[in-house]
Chains A and B, each alone.
Chain A
Amino acid sequence: MSTSTAAPAGEQEPAADERLAGSHRSARILRRPEVGAAVAALAIFTFFAVTTDAFVTPSGASTWILTSSTVGIMAVAVALLMIGGEFDLSAGAMWGTTGLTTGILMSEYQMNVWVAVLFSLAVAVVIGVINGVLVMRTGLPSFIVTLGTFFVLQGVNLAVTKIIINQVSVTGLQDVDGYTAGQQLFGSFVKLDIGGSILTIYAVTFWWLLVTAVATWVLLRTRVGNWIFAVGGAQVSARQVGVPVFATKVGLFVTTSVAGWLVGMLALFKTTTVQSTTGVGQEFIFIICAVVGGCLLTGGYGSAVGAALGALIFGMVGQGIVYEGWDSDWLYAFLGVMLLGAVLVNNWVKSRAEAVR
Chain B
Amino acid sequence: MSTQNEPVDNAADGDLGGAKGLSRTPSGHAPELPAVGETLIEVRDIGKSYGSVIALRDVTTSVRAGEVTCVLGDNGAGKSTFIKILAGAHEHSTGEFVVDGVSRHMSSPRAALALGIATVYQDLAVVPLMPVWRNFFLGSELTKGVPPLRRLDVGAMKATTKAELEAMGIDLRDVDQPIGTLSGGERQCVAIARAVYFGARVLILDEPTAALGVRQSGVVLKYIARARDRGLGVVFITHNPHHAYPVGDRFMLLRRGRSMGDFPKGEMTLDELVAMMAGGAELEALSHELARSMGEDSDVAKQMAAEVRHP
Interface residues of A (CB under 8 A from B): 1-2, 4, 6-8, 11, 16, 19-20, 23, 28, 217, 221-223, 225-227, 229-230, 233-234, 236-238, 240-243, 300-301, 350, 353-357
A192 smallest CB distance to B (angstroms): 32
**Chain B residues with CB below 8 A from A243, complex form:** 19, 138-139
- Kindly identify which residue among A16, A229, A230, A238 contacts B173, using a CB–CB cutoff of 8 Å: A16
Interface string of B21-36 (1 = CB under 8 A from A): 0000000000000000
Q: Does B200 contact A (CB under 8 A)?
A: no
Q: What are 18 residue pairs bridging A and B, where the CB atoms are less than 8 Å apart in the complex? A: A1-B176, A6-B154, A6-B155, A6-B159, A23-B173, A223-B150, A223-B152, A233-B130, A234-B125, A237-B126, A241-B139, A242-B1, A242-B18, A242-B20, A242-B139, A243-B139, A354-B129, A354-B181
Evaluate contact between B143 and A223: CB separation under 8 angstroms: yes
Interface string of B118-149 (1 = CB under 8 A from A): 00010111111111011001111101000000
Evaluate contact between A354 and B125: CB separation under 8 angstroms: no
Given the interface contacts A236-B123, A300-B127, does A28 sit within 8 Å of B151 by beta carbon? no
A136 smallest CB distance to B (angstroms): 17
Nearest 9 Cβ contacts at the A-B interface: A6-B158, A242-B19, A242-B139, A241-B139, A354-B180, A233-B127, A240-B125, A237-B125, A234-B127
**Bound CA span A217–B131, Å:** 17
**Chain A residues with CB below 8 A from B133, complex form:** 6
The number of chain B residues touching the other chain, given as a range, is: 35 or more
**Chain B residues with CB below 8 A from A223, complex form:** 141, 143, 150, 152
Evaluate contact between B173 and A226: CB separation under 8 angstroms: no
Evaluate contact between B123 and A354: CB separation under 8 angstroms: no
A-B pairs with beta carbons under 8 A, tally: 111
A238 smallest CB distance to B (angstroms): 7
Q: Does B178 contact A (CB under 8 A)?
A: yes
**Bound CA span A52–B158, Å:** 49
**Bound CA span A176–B175, Å:** 58
Q: Does B94 contact A (CB under 8 A)?
A: no
A246 smallest CB distance to B (angstroms): 13
* Closest B residue by C-beta to A222: B151
**Bound CA span A229–B125, Å:** 14
Beyond the given pairs A229-B129, A237-B127, 17 more chain A to chain B contacts, judged by CB atoms under 8 angstroms and listed by A's residue number, are A1-B176, A6-B154, A221-B151, A221-B154, A223-B143, A223-B150, A225-B152, A229-B127, A230-B139, A236-B125, A237-B123, A238-B127, A238-B139, A242-B140, A353-B178, A354-B180, A355-B180
Q: Does B177 contact A (CB under 8 A)?
A: yes
Evaluate contact between A300 and B123: CB separation under 8 angstroms: no
Q: Does B75 contact A (CB under 8 A)?
A: no
Evaluate contact between A354 and B178: CB separation under 8 angstroms: yes
Given the interface contacts A6-B162, A222-B152, does A350 sit within 8 Å of B129 by beta carbon? yes
**Bound CA span A241–B194, Å:** 10
Evaluate contact between A241 and B138: CB separation under 8 angstroms: yes
**Chain B residues with CB below 8 A from A230, complex form:** 127, 130, 138-139
Instruction: Please indicate which of the listed interface residues A229, A233, A350 has the most CB atoms of chain B within 10 Å of its own CB.
Output: A233
**Bound CA span A355–B183, Å:** 9
Given the interface contacts A2-B154, A11-B162, does A353 sit within 8 Å of B127 by beta carbon? no
**Chain B residues with CB below 8 A from A236, complex form:** 123, 125
